[in-house]
Amino acid sequence: MNSKKIDIIKIGGSVITNKGEYRSLRKKQLSLICKEISKWDIKCIIVHGAGSFGHIIAKQYSIHLGFSYQEQMKGIFQIRKDMTELSEIVVNSLVEEGVKALSFQTSAIISENKSGYDVNFNSIKKALTLDLTPVLAGDIIFTEKEGFRILSGDTLANILANNFEINRVIFISDIDGIYIRNKDTGEDELATSLSKDDLDFISISILQQSDSNDVTGDMKGKISAIKSLLEQVSEVIVINGNYPKRLTSIQNSENFIGTILIAKKST
Ligand code: IPE
């Protein structure tokens, strides 16, 4: 493996928080995940989601729909406060496990103009050369068109993949991987291995699209983020963070329960 390359690990908000309960942390689960991440021996950038520290207030104030009324600022202030707290908790948990983690606030380094993103990753690049592990999160970013919008951690992984030499992206979710519906039996089955092309043809199980609090698209949003990620990176992996040891199995190239998505179908 090319040691210059970097892995992105996205810790889903659904696994480190109780998504239906405002600001409810799954502290023990977070520590267990951070413990496994501490064994990761490839440089990485960590991205975490919001879970109930972001989605509930975002929905209440329609933050995901962009600016439409002044009262939304209350929601923006609250989400900034809650997400700053969550990022601090994540970073502290990583540091406790020995990871040299340092947080960077996403909307301070990414905004959106008419034709794309304005980014400034200089500090993150420097931090990586110093062997630090940058930690970013899904955030509310400022945009030319809507004033603001939510940038999910999944889309953030895409922007990072466009700007860094990324090897693999690992999504730590609260489900075992990507389930697809078997057209013959009607059953939902865990896909262990998929190619980018497969994603155009399979029918993703609707069971995974049922989170009413998620303002960034749930599994549908993840699939489209994965499709564009596979334009940049060779491998994307989806695993269940309720079983953090699966991260170690990935590292050790052992069998694990999850979905591996590859850019190209092997011939
Ligand atoms: C959402 O990020 C960010 C905010 C709501 C501020 P994500 O969409 O990546 O969060 P999770 O992982 O789904 O909770």
> For position 3, what pLDDT does the model report?
45
Cβ neighbors of 229 (< 8 A, separation 6 or more) are 157, 158, 161, 169, 236
From the CB of 216, is ligand 1 less than 6 Å away?
A: yes
Q: Is 15 exposed, middle or buried (0-12, 13-18, 19+ CB in 10 A)?
A: buried
From the CB of 7, is ligand 1 less than 6 Å away?
A: no
From the CB of 134, is ligand 1 less than 6 Å away?
A: no
CA of 79 from ligand 1 middle (Å) equals: 11
> Mean pLDDT over residues 46-55, rounded?
98
> For position 206, what pLDDT does the model report?
52
20-34, 102-116, 123-137, 197-211: lowest mean pLDDT where? 197-211
pLDDT at 204 over 70: no
Signed CA dihedral, 60, 65, 67, 68: sign only: negative
> Mean pLDDT over residues 69-83, rounded?
98
Nearest residue (CA) to ligand 1, atom 9: 153
> For position 181, what pLDDT does the model report?
82
pLDDT at 237 over 80: yes
CA of 14 from ligand 1 middle (Å) equals: 9
CA distance 53 to 78: 9
> For position 2, what pLDDT does the model report?
43
CA distance 78 to 223: 29
CA of 131 from ligand 1 middle (Å) equals: 26
- Whole-prediction pTM value? 0.94
Ligand 1 atom closest to Cα of residue 79: 6
**pLDDT band, residue 81 (cuts 50/70/90):** very high
Closest to 231 (Cα-Cα) out of 187, 196, 180: 196
From the CB of 14, is ligand 1 less than 6 Å away?
A: yes
CA of 50 from ligand 1 middle (Å) equals: 4
From the CB of 217, is ligand 1 less than 6 Å away?
A: no
From the CB of 54, is ligand 1 less than 6 Å away?
A: yes
**pLDDT band, residue 205 (cuts 50/70/90):** low
* Between 160 and 196, residue with greater pLDDT: 160
